[in-house]
């Protein structure tokens, strides 16, 4: 090798590792591709779900709710968002104890399902959080004194003096200094520029890495300086070699809400890991709802062509735990399980499309009560017993979940599209067709093909699928079982062409076939 070549290689290596490039890789095993957010699930239920459902159905990983000690709130009664108010880094939470967490991580890893932790490291509890032992592990704390002895953090470790607003809270998202140095909705803002605080945060994350997690969803990254995050991430251990190849870096995906129009943009975080692409669900919702004159055929160049971030940076989702109930951003266009027919189509579109690392939402039902566009019950926590403890997730004979757990990830259409995404992994977006309106189709090389009818009339068309000849089971109206289809059958001829008929009144007006649904 020439000297020049050598130094070029070195520069590339330094660029890759220096920028922490490997932190963009979800470390998913066995050609799996999608992850699911089991919002507010107990560790014991997640462990069982990995073994009985997620592993066997090719899910790559689970985003879990924050596992660390959090405040316990009575008014309103045990809101879901109490877990976004840390009291310390002990690992007992509404989802279970440290032992249960460890057992869950082990059991999921053993069946090839990764665990990603929702890491709340920007702040502790709200300034009005009071004083006492009302926390999930029972540690004493004082919000007014900014004293959290279980870490320990004291008032030295918060951003009090750096923030220049009168209230001490973020008042204007147009000012990046406020957004980073002041309190997000009055949450006590950690001074992540301090070596001590960085060390405590990294110790917390490293403990989880050593237990076997594959990475983190980092909460509220817009509210932390990229340089501070970089410092913390560099302190992180490599993944546990019991389950991951030597030298694997934790997958980092950062929650930054960037719909445009604010000085802070997702770009600032690209070198550190992936970033949540909030435009994706907001736009996809608008398209499937046909609002603002949007049509499905405009999605021919879906992805970067729509002004989304570069593919290699994006973590995509149709809805998340915030915007499914009016928190965070995205607005009314966001489609959720409450609009189940549209939801299955939108999630199906996301999972069929190659752009981004895809996350599926799995929710609990609450008493939704919208007055003037605002849900009065947006605070309601997971299905719970009268003592506030979270209920287990019971599985019904038809494989759906009971007791208010929605389990979108178990819906046949969604589960089968997770498998579709695995089967077509690495294949290009191909064989696009549209009717200039809301009927579109596209393939993934010769491995899969999907077609949607979101118009108010029937679809009846013969198309080139790019697939080998044969009889395929539609994995939306049914699936392949043994040597037959439980739903529609699609015949692909020797020329790769197939005839599709989708009534606009079909239960699910889309059809998907893939290499493994062939008879
Ligand atoms: C609770 C109470 C508060 C109380 C606080 C402390 O609700 O009243 O003050 O406790 O006692 C969750 C809940 C909060 C809860 C918190 C703590 O959602 O209600 O507060 O736990 O228990 C911003 C952040 C983003 C954040 C999002 C909710 O940037 O990071 O707000 N998401 C994460 C979590 C979330 C969690 C936290 C952070 C805190 O996912 O579950 O909060 O750990 C603009 C900005 C966004 C900003 C939104 C909302 O968005 O751009 O950055 O998100 O405003 O404030 C258009 C714009 C869009 C704009 C949007 C909304 O769509 O295009 O940019 O309008 O205005």
How would you write 218-253 as a 3-class SS string? ECCHHHCCHHHHHHHHHCCCCCCCCCCCCCCCCEEE
Question: What's the pLDDT score for residue 21?
Answer: 58
Q: Does 219 contact ligand 1 (Cβ within 6 A)?
A: yes
- Other residues' Cβ atoms within 10 Å of the Cβ of residue 276: 27
Nearest CA to ligand 1 atom 65: 329
| pTM attached to this predicted model | 0.96
6 CB-near residues (< 8 Å, 6+ apart): none
Three-point CA angle 325, 329, 332, nearest 5°: 60
Q: pLDDT tens across 464-474, in order? A: 999 999 999 99
Q: Is the CB of 262 under 6 A from ligand 1?
A: yes
Going by CA atoms, what residue is nearest to atom 43 of ligand 1?
84
* Residue 18: alpha-carbon gap to chain centroid: 26
Residues forming beta bridges with residue 518, ordered by sequence position: 472
76 cis-preceded (ω within 30 degrees of 0): yes
Residues of the chain whose pLDDT is less than 50? 1, 3-4, 6, 10-20
Residue 84 in contact with ligand 1 by CB distance below 6 A: yes
Q: 264 with 222: CB under 8 angstroms?
A: yes
Residue nearest to atom 6 of ligand 1 (CA): 126
Residue nearest (by alpha carbon) to ligand 1 atom 30? 220
Q: Under 8 Å CB-to-CB from 286, ≥6 apart: which residues? A: 292, 294, 333
Alpha helix locations (H) across 182-339? Answer: 195-211, 226-234, 278-289
Query: Among this protein's residues, is 277 annotated catalytic?
Result: no
Assess whether the C-beta atom of 126 lies below 6 angstroms from ligand 1.
Answer: yes
Alpha-carbon separation of residue 497 from 69, 125, 126, 231, 356 (angstroms): 57, 59, 60, 54, 29
- Which residues, 6 or more positions from 18, have their beta carbon under 8 angstroms from its beta carbon? none
Q: Are residues 307 and 286 in contact, defined by beta-carbon separation less than 8 angstroms?
A: no
CA of 94 to the centre of ligand 1 (A): 21
> Positive or negative CA dihedral for 42, 46, 52, 53?
positive
| Cis amide bond preceding 152, omega within 30 | yes
**Does the C-beta of 81 come closer than 6 Å to ligand 1?**
yes
Q: Which helix (H) or strand (E) segment is 49 a member of?
A: helix 43-49
Q: For the CA atoms of the chain, what is the radius of gyration?
A: 23
In angstroms, rounded to a whole number, what is the distance separating the alpha carbons of residues 477 and 465? 19
Counting atoms of ligand 1 from 1, which one is nearest the CA of 187? 6
Tokens of 192: 């992540």
Q: Answer yes or no: is the C-beta of 420 below 6 A from any ligand 1 atom.
A: no
Within 13 Å and on the Cβ side, how many CA atoms surround 485? 20
Taking the centre of ligand 1 as the mean of its atom positions, its distance from the CA of residue 463, in whole angstroms, is: 45
How far does the centroid of ligand 1 lie from the alpha carbon of residue 127, in Å? Answer: 15
What pLDDT was estimated at residue 181? 98
185 within ligand 1 shell (Cβ under 6 A): yes
The token pair at 58 is: 């090719």
The residue with tokens 């995205």 is: 330
Report the alpha-carbon distance of residue 181 to residue 188 in Å, rounded. Answer: 10
Structure tokens at 38: 């089991």
Per-residue b or e along 104-120, where b marks 16 or more CB atoms closer than 10 Å to that residue's CB = bbbbbbeebbbbbbbbb
Decide: helix, strand or coil at residue 330. Answer: coil
What's the rounded Cα separation, in Å, for the pair 168 and 104?
39
d(CA 255, CA 319) in angstroms, rounded, equals 13
């Amino acid at each position: 090798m020439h000297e020049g070549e050598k130094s070029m290689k070195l520069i590339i290596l330094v660029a890759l590792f220096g920028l922490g490039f490997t932190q963009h890789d979800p470390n998913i095993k066995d050609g799996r591709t999608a992850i699911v957010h089991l919002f507010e699930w107990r560790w014991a239920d997640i462990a069982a779900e990995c073994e009985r459902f997620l592993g066997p159905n090719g899910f790559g990983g689970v985003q879990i709710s924050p596992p660390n000690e959090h405040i316990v709130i009575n008014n309103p009664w045990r809101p879901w968002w109490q877990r976004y108010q840390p009291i310390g880094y002990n690992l007992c939470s509404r989802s279970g104890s440290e032992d249960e967490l460890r057992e869950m991580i082990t059991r999921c890893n053993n069946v090839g399902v990764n665990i990603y932790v929702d890491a709340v490291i920007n702040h502790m509890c709200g300034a009005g959080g009071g004083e006492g032992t009302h926390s999930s592990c029972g540690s004493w704390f004082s919000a007014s004194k900014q004293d959290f002895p279980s870490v320990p953090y004291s008032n030295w470790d918060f951003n009090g003096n750096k923030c220049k607003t009168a209230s001490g809270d973020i008042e204007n998202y147009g000012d990046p200094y406020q957004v980073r140095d002041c309190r997000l909705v009055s949450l006590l803002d950690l001074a992540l520029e301090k070596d001590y605080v960085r060390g405590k945060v990294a110790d917390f994350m490293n403990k989880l890495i050593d237990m076997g997690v594959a990475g983190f969803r980092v909460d509220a990254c817009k509210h932390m300086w990229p340089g501070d995050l970089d410092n913390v991430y560099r302190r992180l251990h490599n993944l546990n070699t019991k389950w991951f190849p030597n030298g694997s870096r934790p997958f980092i995906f950062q929650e930054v809400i960037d719909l445009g129009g604010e000085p802070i943009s997702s770009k600032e975080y690209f070198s550190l890991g992936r970033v949540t692409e909030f435009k994706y669900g907001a736009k996809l919702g608008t398209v499937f709802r046909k609002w603002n004159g949007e049509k499905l055929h405009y999605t021919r160049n879906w992805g970067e062509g729509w002004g989304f971030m570069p593919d290699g940076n994006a973590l995509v989702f149709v809805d998340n735990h915030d915007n499914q109930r009016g928190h965070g951003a995205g607005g009314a266009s966001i489609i959720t399980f409450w609009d189940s027919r549209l939801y299955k189509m939108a999630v199906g579109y996301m999972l069929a499309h190659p752009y981004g690392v895809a996350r599926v939402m799995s929710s609990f039902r609450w008493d939704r009560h919208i007055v003037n566009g605002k849900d009065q019950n947006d605070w309601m926590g997971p299905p719970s017993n009268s003592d506030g403890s979270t209920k287990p997730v019971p599985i019904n004979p038809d494989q759906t979940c009971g007791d208010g757990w929605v389990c979108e990830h178990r819906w046949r259409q969604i589960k089968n599209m997770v498998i579709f995404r695995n089967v077509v992994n690495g294949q290009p977006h191909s064989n696009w067709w549209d009717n200039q309106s809301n009927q579109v189709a596209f393939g993934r090389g010769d491995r899969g093909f999907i077609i949607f009818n979101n118009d108010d009339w029937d679809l009846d068309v013969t198309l080139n699928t790019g697939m080998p000849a044969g009889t395929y089971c539609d994995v939306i109206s049914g699936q392949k079982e043994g040597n037959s289809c439980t739903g529609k059958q699609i015949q692909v001829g020797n020329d790769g062409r197939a005839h599709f008929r989708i009534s606009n009144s079909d239960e699910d007006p889309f059809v998907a076939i893939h290499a493994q649904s062939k008879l």
